[in-house]
Chain A
Amino acid sequence: MPKGEQFHPLTALVKNESGVLSRLSGLFARRGFNIDSLAVGETKNPKYSRMSIVVKGDRDVLDQVVKQLNKQVDVISVKDLSDKKHVERELSLIKVHASSENRSEIIELADIFDARVADVGKEFVMVEATGSAEQVEALEDLLEEFGIEEMARTGRVVLERSKKKQEE
């Protein structure tokens, strides 16, 4: 990444209505914001969704992303968690080539990363890993040696630590 650029985790509370996701992802695209990942899900209050957005860029870019999001009528609030204590998780399903010889080795490896085995077949093992993006990527690197058939990642979900949110 160029100097000054880094990943910034944002969390946004948005209306849970049709069209909101396309409106906001369209905003990112047309303003040329570089979005590393975007994850959405309903909150405790079904009127709202929480969006976890990881933005790549420098401070000025981040500043514009937050301001442009705030302008949207669908957006209730936006918070930059870069400098705030927060928890960050990503779930990844990784389907790895496996034979009877190396299956146990894969399972052991998964164990070290606190990952689960979600499915076992004759030729594949599906590993379910949860953790920070770095942890998930580290496991992915190691599993690459066995050959990864396919993989699905949720993108990061982020939440600020121990602060009760009144909106939810």
Chain B
Amino acid sequence: MSRTQEENQALATREEADREGSQHQEKKMTGARAVIKGIEEEGVDTVFGIIGGAIMPIYDELGKSEQIRHITTTHEQGAAHAADAYARVKDEPGVVFATSGPGASNLMTGIANAYMDSAPVVGFTGQVATSLIGQDSFQEVDVRGMSDPITKHNYLVMDPEEVPGTVKEGFHLATSGRPGPIVIDLPKDVQQGELTWPANGPEVEEFESYDRSPSVDERDVVELAQGLERAERPVVLVGGGIGHADASGELMDVVEEMKLPVASSLMGLGSVDSRDPHFIGMVGMHGSGPANKAIAKSDFLLAVGTRLDDRITGDVDNFAPNAEIAHIDIDPAEMGKIIQPDYPVVGDAKKVLTELKEQVSGGNSAVDGWWKDIKSWFDKYTPEVSGEESVLKPQKVVGALDEMTGDETIVTTGVGQHQMWAAQGYGFSRPNQLITSGGLGTMGFGFPAAIGAQVAAPDRPVVSITGDGSFQMNIQELTTAVREELPVTVVILRNGSLGMVRQWQQLFFDNRLVETLIDEGTPSLAKVTEAYGGKGVTVASEDDLVSGLEEALSYDDGPSVVECFVAEEENVFPMVPAGAANEDFILEENDA
């Protein structure tokens, strides 16, 4: 999270002006003004949100701000997802406003999503006046209590004088160390009450345990390097932490020096260019055969910036069963949470990998043989997309998109089959090129995330690959995209079902399809888009695919939706059944 020099300079000038001003007069202001001033001083220029009764004083001040653009969404969940994606794309905090009660509770799914994927979202919620708190007042909900398990930290501010420090502290916490969401709850009378802006700017107290930022222990890195050099069958597993630490370059230095195969978690995709010869694919439940096989057979696993969640490991006891485990993460609590590493290194991935590069020289000569094994698995375990030409295969849609769009494209997804096809089939080449809901698995994330991504990067193409189930969960944000004239392209893989669950029913519930077929009642999503004022395109066969995608991708006046009617029965492979060892993946339907 770094500011550019100009921004720093602008900030310094503004601070100086403020200091001069304060010599002449006490800086009296309302809590609401202090919120906006605090946000402005953090360099924020975009806020997502929805107004409501208990946050009106803040919006009144927001209206006077020349620095901040506010984007009104249709539902608070959409605002939170947009802020989440904005933060990931821009590598800056994403800010979201909501009113008390239902406004705040609607926000919670988005906050939880940001928490699970470590995105620095700062949420401000209006609250009923302090005198009304605890009385089940109109639109009252315990935001602090509610957001406890899904935030890095949260606040209920009871005194206007505390606003400046709290805002500053909130941004510090959201963006430092392992990033994560912060929620600041502001009762209406605190917004309206008066305070004196501190003459020397708000002070943030030191957090003795929190700020004890892990300095890399060199001995840990030396030991890790020795282990890695001894390894004959090493594999690197990268996660989202590489992107957070901006450490792709440092990673590749080590990888190239030692000729290491690299697998990735869903969140880590793009950390290594998927076309790089060292990349062997995604790991885990729908990971590639070679990646899962390589980890199962490895004698040394170097995990960087990943929390080794259950979708990665499958059966933990059979995850990399013969390997020594090295784990690099900025969060000390990730060491040993799932797997006790033989080489734990706590620290920023960029620093650790830089250090590691210093310590290693060349690769183990046995690695050449190891690569031969891995290459043989590529031949053996690459699933084929078969079927008649007349039926449009979802994988082909992703493949066509991959060919038609470039490295600067941002791809967002919802959750389910389409998400996995996107992860498997799109060639990601940079961190945070894929904006997806990895941890929480929030259906409906993709479209509002595309909105946030487009606002963060107006000059980059943004494509949301989604399903008919996921898209409809936040379809109302078409309003936002039309109003803001955001040229996002939504590609719906419409299969008339909640496909991933239907896949599980087919494989593990004797094909009893209970409540997973949703086509009845689902309207033409292309026509719905047109009704909203966007561009709707329908693709019913492979023949229409390229022209349909082209038509949507070239539409610049607002959102476009390509509704692709794809093979309804298609399932995602490879697949590791829940609880099984990763090595025991199913490669095709008949294997199950």
Contact = CB atoms under 8 A, between A and B. Distances in A.
Chain A partners chain B: yes
Interface of A: 19, 22-23, 26, 30, 60, 63-64, 67-68, 70-73, 75-78
B144 A19 contact: yes
Contacts of A22: 145, 148
Given A67-B332, A68-B333, A73 B210 contact: yes
Given A26-B148, A73-B173, A19 B332 contact: no
Interface string B203-214: 000011110000
Given A23-B148, A71-B210, 10 more contacts: A22-B145, A22-B148, A60-B336, A64-B333, A70-B209, A71-B332, A71-B333, A72-B210, A73-B152, A73-B210
Nearest to A67: B333
A26 B149 contact: yes
Given A26-B149, A76-B208, A76-B209, A70 B332 contact: yes
A73 B204 CA distance: 13
B230 interface: no
B43 to A, nearest CB: 22
A154 B207 CA distance: 30
Contacts of A63: 336
B356 to A, nearest CB: 23
Interface string B194-218: 0000000000000111100000000
Contacts of A76: 208-209
A147 B153 CA distance: 47
Contacts of A60: 336, 340
Contacts of A19: 144, 156
A26 B144 CA distance: 12
Contact of A67 (B144, B152, B156, B335): B335
A75 B152 CA distance: 13
A92 to B, nearest CB: 31
A70 to B, nearest CB: 5
A96 to B, nearest CB: 39
B337 interface: yes
A90 B209 CA distance: 28
Contacts of B333: 64, 67-68, 70-71
B208 to A, nearest CB: 5
B229 interface: no
Nearest to B169: A73
Contacts of B337: 64, 67
B308 to A, nearest CB: 14
Query: Top 10 nearest A-B pairs by Cβ distance?
Result: A67-B333, A73-B153, A76-B208, A70-B209, A73-B210, A75-B209, A26-B148, A67-B332, A30-B149, A68-B333
Contacts of B145: 22
A72 B152 CA distance: 8
B250 interface: no
Contacts of A68: 333
B570 interface: no
Nearest to B346: A67
A57 B332 CA distance: 20
Contacts of A78: 209
A57 B140 CA distance: 39
Contact of B209 (A23, A30, A64, A77): A77
Nearest to B331: A71
A66 to B, nearest CB: 9
B476 to A, nearest CB: 31
Interface string B144-188: 110011001100100000000000000001000000000000000
Nearest to B158: A18
B327 to A, nearest CB: 13
25 contacts: A19-B156, A22-B145, A22-B148, A60-B336, A60-B340, A63-B336, A64-B333, A64-B336, A64-B337, A67-B333, A67-B335, A67-B337, A70-B209, A70-B333, A71-B331, A72-B153, A72-B209, A72-B210, A73-B152, A73-B173, A73-B207, A73-B210, A76-B208, A77-B208, A78-B209
Contacts of B152: 73
A80 to B, nearest CB: 14
A143 B161 CA distance: 55
Interface in B501-528: none
Interface centre among A22, A23, A64, A68, by most chain B C-beta atoms within 10 angstroms, is A23
A73 B173 CA distance: 9
A77 B207 CA distance: 10
Contacts of B335: 67
Nearest to B333: A67
A78 to B, nearest CB: 7
A73 B156 CA distance: 15
Interface centre among B153, B209, B332, by most chain A C-beta atoms within 10 angstroms, is B209
Contacts of A30: 149
A76 B207 CA distance: 7
Contacts of A75: 209
Nearest to B152: A73
A113 B149 CA distance: 43
A77 B148 CA distance: 20
A141 to B, nearest CB: 38
A72 B180 CA distance: 12
